[in-house]
Amino acid sequence: MARKTPTVGGADRTGRGEGACFERLFADLPPEAREELRRLACPFHREAGDLLFQEGMPAKGIYVLKRGRVKLVQQTPDKRKKQILRILGPGDLVGEEAFFAGGAYTAYARALEPTDYCFFPGRDFVEFLHRHPAAAFRLLERLAEEVKGYQRLLVEVAYEKGEERLARLLLDLARKAPPPGGPERGRVIDLGLTRTELAELLGLRPETTIRILHRWEAEGILDIEGPRLVLLDEEKLSAYARPAPEPEAAGGEERAEQARPRPRGPRRGS
């Protein structure tokens, strides 16, 4: 008789790859610190559509993704509208903002595909950070990267064309996808999102997103196969994607003022 897989909170807890959950984030820690972190990790598995956590739940720890993808979604107070904040993949943290702020989750996290992750109980994880300052600094670096990403997104939404943002997102997803094999003519981008969700993620109207995708299909850049996209011409798509604008660093106004040419006074004797 097959052994029944133990579950915790409805999630399959198989013990798959505890160490792999933090290979990317804490790979440079000493072996003894990594072993200690490995003992703290609680591995879980979710199927597509399952929740990792619900909006409003107390934030009792952080999640680190090992395999699969998760969407982080925030709802309006009346629950009538939703906004996808991020699509997360292997090595990404989930729920860390709410945990370190000491409150409840302000969004919900749902698996887009079969997903393995580790949960680190809050109190144990904080004590670990106190014992290993190098890990705390590494975590701060990751949080700073995420803040910078949000700033970049605000700049893109304010100043960039929709096709530039969409091209950049598809190229990023395509580079993370496995190389084409078998009968596939190009790299397959399995979005796991509806066209409306894709538009929400980019700050576009759904009809604008659909119009751009169909134009690119007519130009031979990609094929639309239901929820999947097949990238046929990466070079052409890259031509639509300019480098992402960087948020201006603090003090930019002062530097610009210093660099601005000053009017010259009248010459002597004139």
Residue 51, strand partner residues: 110
Give me the pLDDT at residue 144, please. Answer: 83
pTM of the predicted structure, to 2 decimals: 0.68
pLDDT tens digits, 186-232: 888 887 788 888 888 887 889 999 999 999 999 999 999 888 899 99
- Cα atoms found within 13 Å of the Cα of residue 249, Cβ hemisphere only: 3
Q: What is the DSSP letter of 191?
A: -
What's the 3-state SS for 37-60? HHHHCEEEEECCCCEEECCCCECC
Of the ranges 35-49, 145-159, 244-258, which is most confident? 35-49
Closest residue by Cα to residue 56 from 119, 106, 18: 106
Share of the chain above pLDDT 70, in %: 74
Within 10 angstroms of residue 237's Cβ, the number of other Cβ atoms is: 21
**How confident is the model at residue 34, as a pLDDT?**
87
Predicted confidence (pLDDT) at residue 260 exceeds the cutoff of 50: no
How many angstroms separate the Cα of 83 from the Cα of each of 99, 107, 242?
A: 21, 9, 25
